[in-house]
Structure 1
Amino acid sequence: MNREDTPPPAASSDVFEGNASIGLSGTLGGISVSASASSYIKFTALSGARDTGPPCYLLEIDQAKILLDCGWDDAFDPETIPHLKSIAHQLDAVLLSHPDVTHLGALPYARSKLSLTCPVYATLPVSQLGRLAVSDALSSRTALEPFDLFDTKDVDKAFSGVVLLHYRQNTALGGRNAEGLYITPYPAGHSLGGTVWHIQKDEDRIVYAVDFNHTRENLLPPCAFITPGPSLDALSEPSVLIVGSRNALDGVGDSASAPLSDPQVAFGMAAVGRRVREGAIVETILGTLRSSGSVLIPISHPSRLLELGYLLHTEWERRRHPWPVAALGWTWSEVHAQARSMLEWMGSEVDARFQRDRENPLSISRIKFLKTTLELSKLPAGTPRVILCPSATLDRGPSRDLFLTMCIDPRACVIITERQKEDTAAGRLWKEWAKRVAGEGTRELPGGVSVETEMAVKLHHKIPLTGDELIAHHRAEILRKEAQLAELQLANPLAAPSGDADADSEDDALVADVEEARNPLLVHFDAYLGPAAGRGQAAQFRMFPSAEGRRRWDEYGEVIDPEQYMGKEMHFGNAEAIRGRVAERGKEDSMDVDVPSVPDVESGAPEVPSKYLTEDRVLQVRCTVRYVDLEGLADGRSMRNILPGVRAKKIILVHGLQAATDYMQSFCLSNPSLTNEVVAPRVGETVNVSTARNMYQIKLTDQLVSSLRMARLGDYQLAFVDGVIRFPPEGGDPILDLPPADGLGSSLTAFQQPSIIVGDMKLSKFRDVLAAEGIRSEFAEGGVLVCNGGTVAIRKSASGQITIEGVLGEDYYKVRQLVYAQHSIL
C-alpha cells in the first residue's frame, strides 16, 4: 500500500506538529533538504537596544532590507547613529511607527545626506505630525547652535514623499528584492496614527511593536493586541515578535524581591490606573497655582500634547479656573489645527462623541497656543500659569529657557511625564525625585518633592553680530561671492549667470532691509553694481562679464512677485515693528495674531549674521519636582499579561535599559506559555531569527517535477522529493535530478518515508469549522478548545504542536478528521 493511502492510526490521544514551513521536503543521500516557503530572516539593531536610545532597526527578509523606524534625538548628533550611514542606500523600504523625533527624526538627514531613496511608509498622522515635530526640534536647535546637517527644505522633501496608509490596509512592497512582501499597519495607541507593523512573506509573519499602549486614553484608542476581532487574529502567532522592553520593570516593586529603596525600582512603582494618574497631575497643578507658583510640563511629541491639552481644557472648562494655560512651541498651533481633522484616527468612541455632541473634541479653547517665549507677554502679567512645551529633555527649546528661570523659584513646579536619559536635565531631575520618594517607603503614587541641588549645564547662545564683526562678516561674504562667480566665468566665459536677475536683486534688497534694520549706519555695496545703483534706483549691472538675466513670462505676461509691492515692515526682518503695533492693538481687543519670531526657521527669510557662544553654568535648583507617568505606554505588568496571548514563535527584545531587558528576557524564558527562543541583541549585533535555520536554494529538473505526486494545502502544492544533487561545472545553484534508475532503491526510499502533517491551524478559526459541522465548542482555561461538553479537547503548544484528547467515539473521530482536513498529509 502506498504511503498516501495509509489511514492515520486511531488512538485516544493524537499528537502531531503542524509544520508552518510549507514546501517540498525529502531525504537525499542522508541529507535533509527543504525547498520551503520559509524566508531567511535577520535582525540588526542599529540603535535602541539594551538602552532607551532612538529605535532604528534593520530587518532583512531574504534579499529585502527594511528599516524599522528611523529615530534620532533632539541633539541630532551623527555619532549616535553610525550604523545607518552604511546601509541607507541599500534599503528597500522604511516603516515609521510614531510621529516624534525619537522614531523618525533621522529621516530628513538620511534622505538628504545618506542617499536614502527607497519608499517610506506611514499613516497620515505619523507623516504630518512627524514633520511638524522634526521642524520644531530643528527650530530649537538652530536658534542656539550652528547646524547644517539638514534644513526645513530637507524636512519638507523627506515627508512629502511618504506613502500614506490606512489602518489594516494590506500593501505590497515594490522593487525586485521586496517581491512577495506585504505590510499592514495596525493601531498601536501611544500616539495619533501610532502603528504596530505586520510584515509577511509567504508563511513568515513578523510583528513590530516597539511602543504600544494597551489602555484607551481620552483621544487615542488602545493597541490592536487587546481588541478582539480580525486585527487581533492577524497579529497572533507571528513567526517573530519585535517588542520593546522599556517598561518591563513596572510593577516589579510589588515583589518582595525588589527593595523599594533601590532607585531603579522607581521605574517599577506599582502601576495605577490612568484616571488616578490624571487626577494626580491635575491636583499637583492646582496646588502649585494656588501657592502662586507656575507649572512647567515638558513634552516629547505632539500626541502627548493633545492628550494633556484635552485633559487640562476639560478641567478648566468644568471648574472655570482663572489661571492661563499655554502650549508653547514653534509648530504646535499647526499640530492642533491638523489634528482637528484627524478624528477618524482617534477611535470609535471619539467619533461617537463628535456625532452626539456635534463638537470637535479638540476644540480646546482654554489652551492658548504660542510660538515663542516672547509671546508669553500675551498672558496676564504676574499671574501663575501652566506651560506645556518641548522638549521633554529640558536641554533645548522653550522648555530649557523656561526651566532656567523657574528652577530657582521654590513655588514653581516641574512635572515630568516621560522618563529621559540620565545625562539630560530632565533625567537628572527624575533621578533626584526617585531617590527622595524611594526613601519614603511608600508604594502609593508618589507626590511632588522639593528638590534642592546644583546642576551643571552647558548653555548655548546665538548673538547677532554688530560693529566690526558684522562688517568683517559682510566683507567675507563679498569675497566668497567673487570667488564663486570667478569659478563660474572660468568654467563658461560666455554663459550668463543662471537664475532670475530680478529675483536675485529682490533677495539682495531684502537682505539689505534686514541689515539696515539691525545697523542703520552700515554702508551697503555690491561689487557687481554700478556706482549709481542705490536705494530706490534700478540696478545697473557693470560691463562684461556681468549680464542681466531674462525676465520670466507666462501665458498672462510677466511673472510678478508680490513681495516687490510689500512695505519694508512686511518683511520678517522688521517683525519687531509689527509686534509693537500688535501690542498696542492688544490693549483694545483680544484677537490672537500669530507673529513670526526672529529668526523664524519656517519663514525662509534671511537670517541676521550671528555668532554662537557656549557657557558652562551651575544652576541652583530649588523648585518642586513630580513624576507622573503619562507617556502612554503599556506598563510592565500589562506586557507580561499580553505577551502569552500573542503566542509568538520567536521574540526579539529591544528599546529598554539593560536591567529592564534582562528582566523581560528572564521572564519570557521562565514562562511555560512563551517560547524559549528569546533574543535581546546589542547595538550593531545581527541575529538570525529564520523559521528554518538551514536553508539552501536549489533548482529542480523538469523530469523530477513531473514525477512528483502533489498534495494541495491552500495556495501551495506539496510533495516528497527523492533525487540526486548535481553541481553545474559553470557554477550557480545546485540541481536536483531524478535518482539513477536502479528501481528498487528508489521505491524503498519512498516507501520508508514516514507520514508528516503540514499546515498551521489556528484554534480560533477552527471553531468556525466545528460550528459549521454542528459541533459545539468553547475555550477553557489555558487556551484548550473543548468540544461537545468535554468529550474532546484540543490543545496547541507555543511550538505549534496539536494534541487531540478524548473518549473514543463518534465525536472523537469526527473532530480528528476535521483537524486533518485543515492540513496536508504527505
Structure 2
Amino acid sequence: MFNFTPLLGAQSSSPASQSLLEFDGGIKILIDVGWDESFDVAKLKQIEKHASTLSFILLTHATVAHLGGFAHCCKHIPNFTRIPVYATIPVVSLGRTLLQDLYTSTPLASSIIPTDALTDSGYAVSLKDGTNPNMLMQAPTNDEIAHYFASIKSLKYTQPHTPRESPFSPPLGDLTITAYSAGHTLGGTIWHIQHGMESVVYAVDWNSYREHVLSGAAWLGGGTGGAEVLEQLRRPTALVCSCTGSGQAVAAQRNSRDEALLSMVRETVSNGGSVLIPSDSSARVLELAYLLEETWANEPSNTGDSLRSARLYLASRTGGATMRYVRSMLEWMDESIVKESETATGAQEGQDRRRTRGHGGKGDEEKTLRAPFDFRHLQLVERKSKVQRMLDSEGPRVVLASDTTLEWGFSKDAIRSLAHDSRNLIILTERLSPATSQGKGLGAFLYDLWTARSASTNNAPISPDPSDQATIRTIRKFPLEGDELALYQQYLATQRQHQSIAQGEASPLEMLGDVVFDDATSFTSTTSEEESEMGGLQGRLLTAANTTRHARHKLGLTDEELGVNVLIRRKNVHDFDVRGKKGADKMFPFVAKRRRADDFGDVIRPEDYVTAEEQEEQIGAEGLGAAAASNGATKTENAVGQKRKWDEVAARTVEGVRGGVPAKRSRGDREGSQAMADGQEMDDNDEAMASESEGEEEEDADKIEGPAKAIIETSTLQLQARISFVDFSGLHDRRTIQMLLPLIKPRKLILVKGEEAETRELAEECRKALSSGSATDVGVDVFTPLVGDCVDASVDTNAWFVKLSEEMVRKLQWQKVRGLSIVAITGRLEAASLEPTAHDDHEQDKDEGGGGAKKKAKLAASSSAVVVPANRTTEIDGLPVLKALPPNLSKPLRSIAQPFHVGDVRLAELRKRMQAAGMTAEFRGEGTLVVNGTVAVRKVGEGRIEIDGGAYSFVEPRGGSGGGGGIGDGTFFKVRRMVYEGLAVVSGQ
C-alpha cells in the first residue's frame, strides 16, 4: 500500500512543498517542511497534526520553499525533535545558514500568534475590539537552529540507507532510502524509497542540464548524457514530480542565459547605472556568484566600457559562513569545478616551490592560483550598516542581494535606494507568484509588471510608467506591554500545558513554575536592570499563584484532549475506558519529574539559596545602586544571586586598559586586511566599511528582548528603475519531462508543486507521452491532487481478502525473495458462511486434546496469510474461504501449472557475488557485466536477463571448481546458477 497526500503546494500559488507518504504498517514519511514569505503558522498545522505519527523526515533542498518551517516546527511542535531527519551534507549546512539569515532579517519569520489561539486560551483577559495585536512567537536563536540541524543525519548520493524510525513509529522493516542528485541546488535530492513491492521516486524541483557549479539530475547519470535512465530510478511504482516552471515550453540554455544577463549588466554599467540581482542566500546564489566572479576576473581592465569599473557585492547576513561551507563541499559540484580546484592547488604548490628557491614572479599566473569561490572581485557585505554605506557610495555597482521575493532580505533595502534612478536595472531571476496572505509581494508585483509588457519589447528591460507605484511592507518589532503582556503569558502557559500533555514529561504545577521562573526575564522586559532580585522574585511568585489558579480551573482542555490524564486532572473521575486504546492511554497516568540541566549538570537557582542577611544586603545595594545611577555612576560588581554579565565586564576592562579601543578585531577588519593582502583595490568607502567595528550596535538598537509584537507599516515606492527577467531558477521544463517520462516508465505519476493551470496542462501532456509507447503504457494513471487529497498509488489498488482453510495453510511452502514471502496457490473458493460459529478457544483446545493453541501458533508463524482463529468473529466469517482441491482435481491441474521464477536480479549485486566466489567481474559498456572475460550478462528488458558466453565457458571443469578463466572452467554454468539463486522458483500447490 502506498498513499500520497500533499500538505502544501499542490495546485496553488504557494511555492512551499510539504508531502506525506504512507506505507503498509502505519509507516508515515514527511518530505520537506516548506514555508513561503507569508510565514503563516496555519500552513504548518497539518505537520503538527501528523507529527505524533511520523516515522522520519526527508529534506530535498536548502531553500525556504523546502525547509523554511523546519526550525519553527522544532521549536513549537511537541516531540518534533525526536523524529529522525535525513538530508545530504550540503542541505544541512546551507539550510542552517539560510534559516539563520531568515530569522535575523525579519521579525515576521517568528510567525504571528493566530487570533483563535489567543481567544481559545480560556483566560479572563480578552482581545480588545477583537483585533489581533500581532504578537510574535518565540523565535529560535542561532544556537538553537545550529542544534536542530546538527541532529540531522547526513547521507551521500547513491548509497542505500536503512533509516531509524521515531520512538512513536511502527517498525520500518526492509524500507530503504537512497539519495540521488537533483541538480537544482547544491546537495539537492531526488529520493528513492523502497518498501516491499513499492518503489517510490520523489523528484520535486530538479534540473537535468549541467550548469557552472552543479551537475545535472541523476536520471541519465548526472548530466553525463547517458542513453538510459538509471536502473534504480526506472519503472517505479509511483513518480512524484513537480510542475513549477513547466508552463514555459523550453527553458533557456546556459550560454544564452548567461549572455543575456551579462549583456544587460554591461549596458547598465557603461551608462553609469547600478544593477540589483535578488537571489536566495544559500542555493541558487552560488551559480550567480560564480558566474559574476569569473566574468570580472576575465574582463580586461584597460577598455573604456569594462565591467571592472563597477564594484561587485554579495549582500547576505550569512554570506561568509555560506561560502566557507561551500569551499569544503567541492566534491558535490560539477566535475569542472573539481578539476579547477585541483589545478589551482597544483599551481599554488608550484609557486610556493619557486618562491622557496628565490624565483618570484606573478602576472598572468595569478589567475590560475584562484580556487573556486575564493573571491577576489566579489565583496561580501553582511551588516546592514555596510549595506547602507555601499548603497550611498558613488559609481556603478552590481549587487547580489538575499531574498528573491524582495520581502525580508537585503534586497528590500537595496531596491529602496536604487528604484529612483532610471539608469539602474533590477534583474529578477525566478518566476514569482503572489503567495502572501496580505496580498501580492513586491517581487511578484515586479514580475507581473515585466510579464505584462515584455511581449512588446522582445524580453528586453522595461521602463515603468510614472503611474507605476509599488507597495513595500515594513515590519517593526515592539515589546509587549499592559494587557498584551498578560495575555501572552497566559497563551504561553496554555501552550506549555498542551506540550506537557503531549510529551508526558511535566506536571501542571512544575510546568507553570518553569514558565514563571525561566521566562520571567522575558516577561518583564520593560523593567530596568537595577530592579532588585527580591522584588522580581515576589512578582514571579505572584504570577505563579495567579497562573496556577487559572490553570486549575480554566485549562481550556476537553476530556478527549486530556485522554487518560483525566483521572488525575478532573475531579470525581475514577474510571477510564482503555478498550481499543494504544500507547500511554492504556496505562494509569504517571508524570515523572523533569530535571532541568545544562552542559554542566543540574541547573541551580541562586535565588533559592539566598539567606535573610543577603536579602537585606541586596535591598540596601539596590538603594545605593539607584542613587549612584542617578549621579551618573555604574555598578562595578554584581550582587549575590545575580548572573554575571561577562560581555559588559570584559568591555569595561578593555576600555580601562586600552582607553576605550576594542581589543577584539572584528570580522570586517579581518576580511578587509585579507583583501588588501591579496592586492584588491579599495576606495575610501570600502576601507571605511571594512574597518567598521563588529562591536558597533547599530542593528541592535531596535533589538527587542522578550515578548514582542509586529507592527506592519506600508509605504509607496515610485519605480523609475528598469526591470528585466532572466531565468536562473535551474528547473526542468516541459520538453525535458516529455522526453524522460517514456524512459522512466512510471506505473503511477503524481504531479504536485505548481499552479492549477500549468498542472492540468502538464497532466494532459504526460498522458499523451505515456500512452504513445507500447500497449503496456496505456494504463498509466496521472494524478493531480489538491492540498489535503489522499491518492492511492499502490502497486495494485484492486485487492480482495479471502480466508484460508487450515488444510490449505498446512500445505503452503513459502519462498523468500528480498525479504518477502511468496507462494503460488491453486484452490477452490467457497462462499462465506452466513451463520457465526459457536466454537471458542476453550472448546477448540479441548477437542484437539489441548494442542489447538500450539498448532494455531505454528500455522500463524509459517505464513503471512490471514490465519483464522477458532473464535471467529462475524466480520471474519463474512469472507469467502479458499480450500485445497480434492485429489481427483489436483493432479491434472498440477501438470498444467508450470513452475516460474519470481524476483529481479540486479547486476551490481550479481557482480559482488561473483567476486566473492573468486571470479573476476566488471562492467563494460552500458549495463553489461563481463565475468572472467568470457561471459557477458546484460538486461534486455523488464524481467529478462541475457547470458552470452564464449565457447570455452560452456565446458564443465574437469576437476575442482576453480575460479580462473582457463579452458574448461564452466563459467557460463556458474553464472547461470548464481542468477537462478537470486530468484525464487514458485510452483502451484
After TM superposition, the score normalised by the length of structure 2 is 0.62
Aligned to 2:847: none
**Aligned with 1:651 (options 712, 734, 749):** 749
**Aligned with 2:6 (options 45, 68, 84):** 45
Asked if residue 626 in structure 1 is aligned to residue 724 in structure 2, the reply is yes
Alpha carbons of structure 1 residues 766 and 131: separation in structure 2 relative to 1, 3 Å: closer
Q: Which secondary structure does the structure 1 equivalent of 2:751 belong to?
A: strand
Aligned to 2:187: 193
How many corresponding residue pairs? 694
Deviations 1:616-667 (A, max 9, x none): 3332212111110011112222222122211111111011111111111101
Asked if residue 211 in structure 1 is aligned to residue 205 in structure 2, the reply is yes
Deviations 1:509-560 (A, max 9, x none): xxxxxxxxxxxxxxxx99795322452344456xxxxxx48x9xxxxxxx99
Give 1:68 shift. Answer: 0.8
Aligned to 1:172: 162
Q: Which secondary structure does the structure 1 equivalent of 2:284 belong to?
A: helix
Deviations 1:117-148 (A, max 9, x none): 21000011101110111111111212899632
Aligned to 1:617: 715
Alpha carbons of structure 1 residues 669 and 91: separation in structure 2 relative to 1, 3 Å: same
Alpha carbons of structure 1 residues 279 and 644: separation in structure 2 relative to 1, 3 Å: same
Q: Which secondary structure does the structure 2 equivalent of 1:530 belong to?
A: helix
Asked if residue 459 in structure 1 is aligned to residue 469 in structure 2, the reply is no
Asked if residue 333 in structure 1 is aligned to residue 345 in structure 2, the reply is no
| One-letter amino acid matched to 2:84 | P
Say whether the 8 Å CA contact 1:460–1:612 is kept in structure 2. Answer: no
Deviations 1:31-90 (A, max 9, x none): xxxxxxxxx100000001012420100000111100011101233211233322211221
Q: How does 1:134-283 map to 2 (within 5 A)?
A: 134-142=99-107, 147-152=136-141, 153-175=143-165, 176-227=170-221, 228=226, 232-251=230-249, 270-283=250-263
Aligned to 1:256: none
Q: Distance in 2 between matches of 1:163 and 1:350?
A: 26
Say whether the 8 Å CA contact 2:3–2:794 is kept in structure 1. Answer: yes
Q: Distance in 2 between matches of 1:586 and 1:408?
A: 22
Give 1:376 shift. Answer: 3.0
Aligned to 2:385: 374
Q: How does 1:746-761 map to 2 (within 5 A)?
A: 758-759=902-903
Alpha carbons of structure 1 residues 249 and 740: separation in structure 2 relative to 1, 3 Å: closer
Alpha carbons of structure 1 residues 224 and 574: separation in structure 2 relative to 1, 3 Å: farther
Alpha carbons of structure 1 residues 767 and 92: separation in structure 2 relative to 1, 3 Å: same
| One-letter amino acid matched to 1:51 | S
| One-letter amino acid matched to 1:390 | S
Deviations 1:738-794 (A, max 9, x none): 8378543555666676877644578999865999986899989x9999999xxxxxx
| One-letter amino acid matched to 1:114 | I
Q: Distance in 2 between matches of 1:703 and 1:561?
A: 80
Aligned to 1:90: 53
Aligned to 1:10: none
Higher strand share: 1
Q: How does 1:466-477 map to 2 (within 5 A)?
A: 474-475=526-527
Give 1:474 shift. Answer: 2.8
Q: Which secondary structure does the structure 1 equivalent of 2:230 belong to?
A: helix
Q: Distance in 2 between matches of 1:248 and 1:680?
A: 14
Say whether the 8 Å CA contact 2:11–2:786 is kept in structure 1. Answer: yes
5+ residue gaps in structure 2?
111-134, 302-307, 346-369, 435-439, 483-523, 549-601, 611-616, 629-633, 673-682, 830-865, 908-924, 949-975
Q: Distance in 1 between matches of 2:743 and 2:292?
A: 36
Alpha carbons of structure 1 residues 120 and 463: separation in structure 2 relative to 1, 3 Å: closer
Q: Distance in 2 between matches of 1:473 and 1:500?
A: 20
Mean CA deviation greater in 230-239 or 304-313: 230-239
Asked if residue 719 in structure 1 is aligned to residue 805 in structure 2, the reply is no
Q: Which secondary structure does the structure 2 equivalent of 1:168 belong to?
A: coil
| One-letter amino acid matched to 2:622 | G
Alpha carbons of structure 1 residues 144 and 768: separation in structure 2 relative to 1, 3 Å: closer
Say whether the 8 Å CA contact 2:203–2:242 is kept in structure 1. Answer: yes
Q: Which secondary structure does the structure 2 equivalent of 1:83 belong to?
A: helix
| One-letter amino acid matched to 1:641 | M
Say whether the 8 Å CA contact 2:202–2:240 is kept in structure 1. Answer: yes
Q: Which secondary structure does the structure 2 equivalent of 1:663 belong to?
A: helix
Alpha carbons of structure 1 residues 537 and 373: separation in structure 2 relative to 1, 3 Å: closer
Q: Which secondary structure does the structure 2 equivalent of 1:411 belong to?
A: coil
Aligned to 2:519: none
Aligned to 1:688: 792
Alpha carbons of structure 1 residues 245 and 612: separation in structure 2 relative to 1, 3 Å: closer
Say whether the 8 Å CA contact 1:209–1:241 is kept in structure 2. Answer: yes
Give 1:322 shift. Answer: 2.2
Alpha carbons of structure 1 residues 769 and 51: separation in structure 2 relative to 1, 3 Å: farther
**Aligned with 1:99 (options 62, 67, 85):** 62
Asked if residue 318 in structure 1 is aligned to residue 403 in structure 2, the reply is no
Aligned to 2:460: 447
Q: How does 1:348-363 map to 2 (within 5 A)?
A: 348-358=335-345, 359-363=370-374
Q: Distance in 2 between matches of 1:618 and 1:598?
A: 29
Deviations 1:432-469 (A, max 9, x none): 111112235x5xxx221112243352522537899x9x
Q: How does 1:461-540 map to 2 (within 5 A)?
A: 461-462=475-476, 474-475=526-527, 482-486=538-542, 499=604, 501=606, 530-533=622-625, 535-540=634-639
Q: How does 1:569-584 map to 2 (within 5 A)?
A: none
Q: Which secondary structure does the structure 2 equivalent of 1:625 belong to?
A: strand
Q: Which secondary structure does the structure 1 equivalent of 2:200 belong to?
A: strand
Deviations 1:301-354 (A, max 9, x none): 412111111111111111141211111111111101111111111133321221
| One-letter amino acid matched to 2:239 | L
| One-letter amino acid matched to 2:395 | T
Say whether the 8 Å CA contact 2:317–2:382 is kept in structure 1. Answer: yes
Give 1:475 shift. Answer: 4.5
Aligned to 1:128: 93
Say whether the 8 Å CA contact 1:770–1:777 is kept in structure 2. Answer: no
| One-letter amino acid matched to 2:137 | D
Q: Distance in 1 between matches of 2:70 and 2:449?
A: 34
| One-letter amino acid matched to 1:151 | P
Asked if residue 566 in structure 1 is aligned to residue 546 in structure 2, the reply is no
Q: Which secondary structure does the structure 2 equivalent of 1:450 belong to?
A: coil
Say whether the 8 Å CA contact 1:299–1:391 is kept in structure 2. Answer: yes
Say whether the 8 Å CA contact 2:903–2:982 is kept in structure 1. Answer: no
Alpha carbons of structure 1 residues 776 and 414: separation in structure 2 relative to 1, 3 Å: same
**Aligned with 1:739 (options 883, 886, 891):** 883
Asked if residue 291 in structure 1 is aligned to residue 343 in structure 2, the reply is no
Q: Distance in 2 between matches of 1:171 and 1:498?
A: 39
Say whether the 8 Å CA contact 1:449–1:625 is kept in structure 2. Answer: yes
Mean CA deviation greater in 404-413 or 202-211: 404-413
Q: Identical aligned pairs, as a percentage?
A: 25
Q: Distance in 2 between matches of 1:370 and 1:303?
A: 17
Aligned to 1:399: 411
Say whether the 8 Å CA contact 1:75–1:141 is kept in structure 2. Answer: no
Say whether the 8 Å CA contact 1:171–1:183 is kept in structure 2. Answer: yes
Say whether the 8 Å CA contact 1:462–1:610 is kept in structure 2. Answer: no
Say whether the 8 Å CA contact 1:771–1:777 is kept in structure 2. Answer: no
Q: Distance in 2 between matches of 1:278 and 1:102?
A: 25
Asked if residue 75 in structure 1 is aligned to residue 41 in structure 2, the reply is no
| One-letter amino acid matched to 2:429 | T
Give 1:710 shift. Answer: 5.5
Alpha carbons of structure 1 residues 538 and 324: separation in structure 2 relative to 1, 3 Å: same
| One-letter amino acid matched to 2:43 | T
Alpha carbons of structure 1 residues 593 and 239: separation in structure 2 relative to 1, 3 Å: farther
Say whether the 8 Å CA contact 2:808–2:884 is kept in structure 1. Answer: no
Q: Distance in 2 between matches of 1:718 and 1:784?
A: 20
Say whether the 8 Å CA contact 1:173–1:180 is kept in structure 2. Answer: no
